[in-house]
A = this chain, B = another copy of it.
């Protein structure tokens, strides 16, 4: 697939090192107090080079989220095509979450200054997920359903994740809440006064 020489590998490694350094420093000093200079120093590269990899400090910090979003899409594409869309999404989410670092996620999700960039990450992944959904159903990526399904599903997952991070709970609870939300989306959201 992506044939990589040493050059590519080193770039990937540097990018990962910067991402991890940013997160490590944020855990140690708090997200607000980390500077690009610190991140660069921790990774032993020039400040200028940092900006060759990330266009902002925030982008480096939410890179972990971006990686998980990409993983989610990959898992979704790997699900058997006979599965209904939301069912496949639920399983993909479960697999990604199982291998996630809750502490790092909590740090990122709870930092107000990272909210805009984090949301931007989700939004930029919407298109890729919409294409995956369109592929699965044999629809055009320009159709309304793939776009709406991708965007709303990602949003619903975000809400679940935020709620879960806000309460002390285990991974089983997260899985349960994921299923509940998928159930809501599948059943339709219309409601009225009893």
Contacts and interface: CB of A to CB of B under 8 A. Distances in A.
Interface in A49-74: none
A120 B158 CA distance: 13
A152 B85 contact: no
This chain's copy number in the assembly? 2
A84 B190 contact: yes
B149 A189 contact: yes
A180 interface: yes
Interface stretch (A9-17, A36-44, A91-99, A140-148): A140-148
Nearest to A185: B189
A72 to B, nearest CB: 16
A189 B190 contact: no
Contacts of A87: 190
28 contacts: A81-B193, A82-B193, A83-B192, A84-B190, A84-B191, A85-B191, A86-B190, A115-B120, A116-B116, A119-B123, A136-B193, A137-B192, A137-B193, A138-B193, A147-B159, A147-B163, A148-B156, A148-B181, A148-B184, A148-B185, A148-B189, A149-B189, A152-B156, A152-B185, A185-B189, A186-B188, A186-B190, A187-B188
SS of A interface (majority):
helix
A147 B161 CA distance: 12
Contacts of A117: 116
Contact of A119 (B82, B119, B148, B153): B119
Interface of A: 81-87, 115-117, 119-120, 123, 126, 136-138, 144-145, 147-149, 151-156, 158-160, 163, 177, 180-181, 184-193
Given A85-B189, A116-B117, A147-B159, 10 more contacts: A82-B193, A84-B192, A115-B123, A116-B119, A116-B120, A144-B180, A145-B184, A151-B158, A152-B185, A153-B189
Contacts of A151: 155-156, 158-159
